[in-house]
Amino acid sequence: MTASHDHAAAPPPLPAEATEPAPQVETDIWQPLPTRARTLATITTLIGTVIPLGIALGVGLVASARQPSSFAIAGVLLLLVPAWTVWIARRRWLRTRWRLDDDGFGVRRGHMWRSDTRVPGNRVQHLDVRRGPLERAFGLATLIVHTAGTRNSAVALSGLDHMQAERLRDTLAARAARDDDHDDA
């Protein structure tokens, strides 16, 4: 899905503000991801850890002498490791915030390693909204903001509400189109 430029004619920042009562994209607030994103993160992390861990432990148990102690250790590991990864995933969900303001789009993330990325609205080259099957099931989407840069040439934010992601994309695309009109190149 690419950016639609149909909104160039509409009032740029909030294209359909007048028609709907609530503002489409709240600006100037660091907004959290929806709770559904946390559920999805929990599920994917669980799947991602329990299955490989289960296989590894199963193989280990088969290979080793099957004593009660090793079963106990395996059980404890099977409980602790997923719990830990899920805790991290939920922290990450909690710590990920996005923001749209006059300057552009911002993403804050990270618990141990923190980062705060800002992509000014007029630097947006094109936008993608991407949805995997699981994300579709939860009504979520991933927004990818592309710039002409090198390292941050694609800033991806997953776990956004689908409608929200589409509105964000449209708003940013409209802004990029508006800025393009002023641009001389």
Partner 1 sequence: MTTPEPAASEALLPEDRERRLHPASWLFVLLQNLRQFIVPLLVLLFAGGRRDDGYPWWLPMVGVGALVVVSIWQYLTFRYRIEDDRLIVRSGLLERSVRQIPYSRIHNVAIHQSLLHRLMGVAEVRLESAGGTRPEAQMRVLRLPEALALEQLIRDRGQAVHVGADAGPASTPAPAGITLLALSTWEVVKLGLISNRGMIVVAGAFALAFQALPDRMAGRLLVDYGREAFGYASGFAATWMAKGLVLLAVVGAALLLIRAFSVLLALLRYYGFRLQRQGRRLTVERGLLARSRSSVPRRRIQAWTMTEGVLHRLFARRTLDIDTASARGADGQGDAGAQRGLDALAPIAPPATCDAIVRDVALLPDWPPQAWRPLHPRAWQRLVIGDVLMTAIGCAVLVWFFQAWGTLALLWLPWSIFVARRHAARAGYAVDASLVAVREGWWTRHWRFAEVGKLQAVELRQSPLDRRYGMASVWCDTAGASPLATPLRLRLLPLAEAESIHATLAHRIARRPLRW
Binding region for partner 1 (CB under 8 A): 102-104, 106, 110, 112-123, 147-153, 155, 179, 182-185
Q: Closer to partner 1 by CB, 40 or 119: give it.
A: 119
Contact 148, 170 (CB under 8 A): no
CB nearer to partner 1: pick between 18 and 185 = 185
Q: Among residues 2 and 153, whose Cβ is nearest to partner 1? A: 153
Residue 159: left if φ>0, alpha if ψ -120 to 50, beta else—which one? left
103-123 as b/e: b if 16+ CB within 10 A = ebbbbebeeeeeeeeebebeb
Q: How far is the CB of 83 from partner 1 (least distance, A)?
A: 22
CA atoms in the 13 A half-sphere facing the CB of 65: 2
d(CA 140, CA 158) in angstroms, rounded, equals: 8
Residue placing its CB nearer to partner 1 in the complex, 2 or 64: 2
Cα 161 from Cα 142, distance rounded (Å): 9
φ/ψ region of 68 (left if φ > 0, alpha if ψ in -120 to 50, else beta) reads alpha
Q: Least Å distance between CB 102 and partner 1?
A: 7
Whose Cβ is closer to partner 1: residue 134's or residue 154's?
Answer: 154
Q: How far is the CB of 56 from partner 1 (least distance, A)?
A: 29
Q: Amino acid letter at 115?
A: S
**Least distance (Å) between residue 154 CB and partner 1:** 10
Q: How far is the CB of 181 from partner 1 (least distance, A)?
A: 10
